[in-house]
């Protein structure tokens, strides 16, 4: 009896000290381990076989990398916590976990089918640490069917990459059917780095990187794909890259939200929210930033970049390519559509440009389309130039149905334009097809244009059905001269027989929907394009579509005249710029201005002219209270 009691107490003690409970369908069916490495070592040795489950029941401290090899004795491995736990180690020049086998799932949620992040992997070393590596070094035996989700990965330094899918180390590897989902990536030179051997066709197929938060102490790339030749999707991630440290070499110091590098073909980047801030300088003072950087090269089959929201790209940027979306290399076959780009600001005062979208492929048959994008709030400093869309090099671009408003109050003295064409590199006849766009520059100072081209008019294969508007003295520039009227645009650029020069009235500075009651001159003024069947919001394009990214239906402003008994008057102009006039103020006791939510903004003494220049652009309600007790209200629009 004493012996039985003693054995039971020993077993109880072992279980109490165990951090990992293991069950297996073959081999030794149950066991407990104090570290993840111990559990992996036993699996690698064939002690546990078949379908294996590892339950994390407490924190573990790893003294060396936990490596799961590609052995044939297991069919699947699932790692899942039962409590909130951390697997930590201080492992220099190596990760905490290395996955070299297939059919592995790390699910950090404590609940079945859950999305909570209850499992943390942490490497506290400061010398070239990483947290997780996975992949295969053998082209004939790529790892496959590996999912990592609902976990937190914390690295000890932002000088090395946090999460790597490659060959199991840092070289190009082989893998398929990899899912990285709903994880938090904290601290790293690169947040998530996926590196495939581009020489193997289809390598990296069915890659999914989705729902991750990569926004704490990431300095170079939030998510970087290189050599991924199969289908890949980077979707619905939240990314914030912030670099403040100075570089140590003459190479450009970059900060990029999502980068598709050499050999990455057939990729889709969608639904991501991205901000990038780079305030560092390298030894030569060269730095740049991009939210999305596309440079797969000449072998690209198709890349789609759509429905992304870029909220900031800013910093002390001294290199030419700082922008919301960059297309470069010899890359063809890229679709860039329905992205919202704003918050772009370069604080460098030496004249470096900032662009919403830069089209810089060196291919003269780029076969790329840019449509339904919404771009605003771009700002430079000093002598910097800002551009909405910048056609920098290459040919074969279709630029359709974009809405661009260069509207930020500016401090720079350089040229600003909604559309810019760089003539040094854009030289091929018919290089550009530009239709159905709204190019607006509503700044209050500086050299401002709707469209600016240093290229010859021959590069415009088709340019028509665009709305050009500028608050400056000229609408456009080409042939070394300003073009002040629509007729000048038509003669200088060619085409444009159905283009307009109408001031678009947007809902607000940040909402570039056209106000339905203030844009009758822009309703149904576009042309049908087979490539553009819906607008930015997914609304079907009309039989006679609208220019710009959004479809709309023009409506008249409600009640432009007010009648109260024998009191008759009119309110004009509507829309207005600074002053609203009232034809007859007799019988009016007071006037109140409300926003569209009903919030009272000001009460005015009746007068024939009302100075409302302090109101921001938008829609308001003006309410009249008459001496006989009646009231009337109408909508007014501030341009």
Could you tell me the CA-to-CA distances from 361 to 289, 394, 491 in Å, in that order?
Answer: 18, 5, 29
Which of 486, 503, 520 terminates a domain? The answer is 503
* Residue ranges making up the domain that contains 304: 271-503
Global pTM reads: 0.86
Which of 356, 373, 389, 232 has its CA nearest to residue 302?
Answer: 232
- Output the pLDDT for position 583: 82
- Of 221-225, 256-260, 317-321, 352-356, the range with the lowest mean pLDDT is 317-321
Q: Are residues 129 and 175 in the same domain?
A: yes
- Of 35-44, 47-56, 76-85, 168-177, the range with the lowest mean pLDDT is 168-177
Q: Are residues 81 and 226 in the same domain?
A: yes
**568 pLDDT band (50/70/90 cuts)?**
low
Q: Are residues 304 and 405 in the same domain?
A: yes
For residue 244, the 8-state DSSP code is: -
**3 pLDDT band (50/70/90 cuts)?**
very low
In a domain, 326, yes or no: yes
Q: Are residues 65 and 204 in the same domain?
A: yes
The answer to whether residue 60 scores a pLDDT higher than 90 is: yes
Q: Dihedral of CA 537/303/261/206: which sign?
A: positive
Rounded average pLDDT over 359-379: 96
- Side-chain half-sphere exposure of 60, counting CA atoms within 13 A: 28
In a domain, 546, yes or no: no
* Cβ-proximal residues to 599 (8 Å cutoff; 6+ apart), any chain: none
Please say whether the beta carbons of 162 and 191 come within 8 A: yes
Biggest distance spanned by C-alpha atoms of the chain:
109
More confident residue, 436 or 566: 436
Q: Are residues 200 and 282 in the same domain?
A: no
The answer to whether residue 4 scores a pLDDT higher than 50 is: no
Q: Are residues 472 and 611 in the same domain?
A: no
The total number of structural domains in the chain stands at: 3
- Of 4-8, 39-43, 579-583, the range with the lowest mean pLDDT is 4-8
Please say whether the beta carbons of 360 and 389 come within 8 A: no
Q: Are residues 281 and 219 in the same domain?
A: no
DSSP β-ladder status, 238-243 and 618-626: unpaired
Which of 519, 549, 525, 523 has its CA nearest to residue 639?
Answer: 519
The answer to whether residue 12 scores a pLDDT higher than 50 is: no
* Cβ-proximal residues to 483 (8 Å cutoff; 6+ apart), any chain: 474, 475, 476, 477, 489, 492, 493
DSSP β-ladder status, 309-315 and 104-107: unpaired
Which of 463, 449, 454, 368 has its CA nearest to residue 415?
Answer: 449
Q: Are residues 119 and 174 in the same domain?
A: yes
- Output the pLDDT for position 249: 54
Q: What angle do CA 600, 602, 604 make, to 5 degrees?
A: 130
Rounded average pLDDT over 500-516: 92
**453 pLDDT band (50/70/90 cuts)?**
very high
**250 pLDDT band (50/70/90 cuts)?**
low
Burial string for 164-195 (b: 16+ CB within 10 Å, else e) reads: bbbbbebebbbbbbbbbbbbbbbbbbbbbbbb
Q: Which residues pair with 370 in a beta bridge?
A: 336, 399
- Output the pLDDT for position 411: 66
The answer to whether residue 286 scores a pLDDT higher than 80 is: no
Average pLDDT over the chain, rounded to an integer? 90
3-class SS at 491? helix
3-class SS at 532? coil
- Output the pLDDT for position 584: 81
* Conformation bin of residue 263: beta by default, left when phi > 0, alpha when psi is -120 to 50: left
Q: What percentage of the chain exceeds 90 in pLDDT?
A: 70
φ, ψ for residue 13, nearest 5 deg: -65, -40
Q: Are residues 225 and 281 in the same domain?
A: no
- Cα gap 366→298, rounded to integer Å: 9
The top-scoring range by mean pLDDT among 38-47, 315-324, 438-447, 548-557 is 38-47
More confident residue, 111 or 278: 111
Q: Are residues 492 and 607 in the same domain?
A: no
In a domain, 15, yes or no: no
In a domain, 584, yes or no: yes
Which of 258, 327, 321 has its CA nearest to residue 289?
Answer: 321
Rounded average pLDDT over 13-40: 89
Rounded average pLDDT over 113-123: 98
**600 pLDDT band (50/70/90 cuts)?**
confident
- Output the pLDDT for position 285: 56
For residue 308, the 8-state DSSP code is: -
- Output the pLDDT for position 567: 55
C-alpha gyration radius of the chain: 30
DSSP β-ladder status, 340-341 and 309-315: parallel
């Amino acid at each position: 009896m004493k012996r039985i009691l003693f054995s039971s107490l020993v077993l109880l003690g072992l279980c109490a000290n165990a951090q990992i409970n293991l069950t297996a369908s073959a081999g030794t069916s149950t066991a407990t381990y104090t570290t993840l490495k111990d559990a992996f070592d036993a699996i690698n040795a064939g002690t546990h076989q078949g379908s294996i489950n590892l339950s994390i029941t407490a924190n573990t401290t790893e003294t060396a990398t936990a490596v799961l090899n590609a052995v044939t004795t297991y069919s699947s491995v699932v790692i899942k916590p039962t409590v909130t736990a951390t697997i930590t180690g201080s492992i220099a020049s190596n990760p905490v976990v290395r996955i070299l086998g297939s059919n592995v799932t790390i699910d950090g949620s404590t609940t079945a089918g859950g999305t909570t992040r209850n499992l943390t992997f942490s490497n506290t070393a400061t010398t070239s640490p990483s947290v997780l590596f996975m992949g295969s070094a053998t082209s004939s035996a790529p790892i496959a069917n590996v999912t990592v989700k609902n976990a937190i990965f914390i690295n000890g330094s932002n000088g090395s990459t946090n999460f790597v899918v490659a060959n199991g180390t840092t070289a190009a590897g082989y893998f398929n059917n990899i899912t990285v989902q709903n994880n938090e990536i904290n601290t790293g030179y690169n947040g998530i780095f996926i590196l495939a051997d581009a020489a193997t066709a289809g390598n990296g197929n069915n890659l999914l990187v989705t729902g991750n938060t990569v926004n704490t102490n990431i300095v170079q790339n939030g998510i970087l794909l290189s050599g991924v030749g199969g289908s890949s999707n980077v979707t619905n991630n939240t990314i914030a890259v912030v670099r403040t440290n100075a570089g140590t070499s003459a190479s450009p110091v970059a900060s990029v939200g999502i980068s598709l590098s050499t050999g990455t073909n057939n990729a889709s980047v969608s639904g991501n929210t991205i901000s990038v801030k780079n305030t560092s300088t390298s030894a030569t003072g060269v730095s740049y930033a991009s939210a999305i950087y596309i440079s797969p090269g000449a072998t690209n089959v198709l890349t789609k970049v759509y429905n992304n929201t870029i909220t900031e790209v800013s910093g002390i940027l001294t290199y030419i390519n700082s922008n919301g979306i960059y297309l470069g290399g010899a890359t063809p076959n890229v679709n860039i559509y329905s992205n919202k780009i704003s918050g772009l600001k370069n604080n460098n005062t030496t004249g470096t440009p900032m662009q919403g979208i830069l089209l810089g492929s060196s291919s003269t048959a780029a076969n790329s389309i840019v449509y339904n994008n919404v771009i605003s709030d771009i700002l430079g400093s000093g002598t910097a130039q800002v551009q909405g869309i910048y056609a920098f090099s290459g040919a074969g671009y279709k630029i359709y149905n974009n809405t661009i408003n260069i509207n930020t109050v500016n401090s720079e003295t350089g040229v600003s334009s909604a559309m810019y064409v760089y003539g040094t590199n854009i030289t091929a006849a018919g290089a550009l097809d530009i239709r159905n766009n709204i190019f607006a520059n509503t700044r209050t100072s500086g050299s401002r244009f709707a469209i600016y081209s240093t290229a010859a008019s021959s590069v415009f294969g088709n340019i028509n059905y665009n709305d050009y508007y500028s608050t400056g003295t000229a609408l456009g520039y080409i042939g070394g001269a300003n073009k002040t009227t629509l007729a000048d645009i038509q003669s200088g650029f060619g085409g444009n027989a159905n283009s307009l020069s109408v001031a678009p009235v947007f809902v607000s500075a940040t909402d570039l929907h056209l106000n339905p009651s203030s844009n009758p001159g822009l309703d149904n003024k576009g042309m049908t394009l087979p490539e553009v069947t819906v607008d930015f919001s997914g609304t079907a394009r009309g039989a006679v579509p609208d220019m710009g990214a959004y479809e709309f239906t023009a409506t008249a402003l409600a009640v432009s005249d007010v009648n109260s008994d024998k009191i008759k008057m009119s309110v004009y102009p509507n829309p207005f710029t600074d002053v609203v006039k009232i034809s007859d103020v007799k019988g009016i006791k007071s006037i109140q201005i409300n926003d569209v939510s009903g919030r009272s903004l000001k009460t005015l003494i009746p007068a024939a002219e009302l100075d409302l220049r302090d109101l921001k652009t938008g829609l308001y309600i003006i309410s009249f209270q008459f001496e006989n007790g009646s009231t009337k209200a109408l909508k007014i629009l501030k341009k």
